[in-house]
Amino acid sequence: MDSVKIDSELLKDISIFLEKKENRIKYQSKKHFVDLAVLELLQKEREKTINENKLLNTHSFSIQFVSVTGEELSGTFAVHRPTMGERVQIGVIEAQLLGGLNNVDVFSSSIAHWIANLEVVIDQAPKWWKPRELHDPEVVQAVFDKYVDYLQKFQRRNKEGDKEPSGGQV
C-alpha cells in the first residue's frame, strides 16, 4: 500500500481542530480523523456518480395529442432505460398480452410490444395514462416513439465515445 504525505498546514489545522474537547471525544487520533474524512468524501463521490448514472438512464418528454373523439391528451412522461431483468419482464408481459401466441397480426403484435415496454419503463405519467384502456392506438404509439427516440439518442451518444456500451433492442 502506498503511503500518503499530508500537507503540514492541513495537519496543523487538524491538530487545532482536535484540541477542542468535543472533537477529542469523537476522534481517537489525527489518523482516525483523516480516515473518516476521506471515507466520507469517497461515499459522497460514489453517490454523485450513482446519481449521475441515474440521470443518464432517465429522460422526460411531453406529448400533446387529440384523440379521434376530440379529447385532448397531454402531459409529461418520465422514462428510464430498462435493466436486463426488465427486458425479460417486457418479454413476459408482451407474451401475456398476446395470450402466448406467436402467430398474430402485425397490428396486435405492435400494440402488445408498445404496451409491454411502456408499462415497464414509464416512471411517471399523466393521470389519464392507462394504455390498456385507451381507444386510440396512435397515442400509445406516440408515447412509444418518444421513448424510442430517447433510446436511440442514448445509443448514438455512447457510440460517439461514452464509456457505457450500447446495443440491444427495444
Which three cell numbers, joined as nine digits, stand for 164? 457505457
Q: Please give the average per-residue pLDDT across 30-57, as a whole number.
A: 70
pTM exceeds 0.85, yes or no: no
Q: Please give the average per-residue pLDDT across 115-131, as a whole number.
A: 97
Give the confidence band of 17 by pLDDT, cuts at 50, 70, 90: confident
Residue 91, pLDDT > 70, answer yes
In DSSP terms, 112 is beta-bridged to none
CB 81 within 8 A of CB 151: yes
| CA–CA–CA angle 44, 162, 42 (5° rounding) | 15
Instruction: Give the pLDDT confidence score for residue 157 in this predicted structure.
Output: 65
Rounded CA separation 13/106 (Å) = 71
Q: Please give the average per-residue pLDDT across 16-39, as a whole number.
A: 78
Give the confidence band of 162 by pLDDT, cuts at 50, 70, 90: low
Which three cell numbers, joined as nine digits, stand for 50? 450513482
Q: What is the mean pLDDT of the chain?
A: 84
Highest-scoring range by mean pLDDT, 1-10, 38-47, 102-111:
102-111
In DSSP terms, 58 is beta-bridged to 80
Rounded CA separation 154/121 (Å) = 15
> Could you identify the residue written with the cell 427495444?
170
Transcribe 5-22 into DSSP letters: PPPHHHHHHHHHHHHSHH
Give the confidence band of 25 by pLDDT, cuts at 50, 70, 90: confident
Instruction: Give the pLDDT confidence score for residue 74 in this predicted structure.
Output: 95
Rounded CA separation 83/53 (Å) = 13
124-142 residue pLDDT tens: 999 999 999 999 999 999 9
3-state secondary structure of 98: coil
Sequence letter at residue 63: I
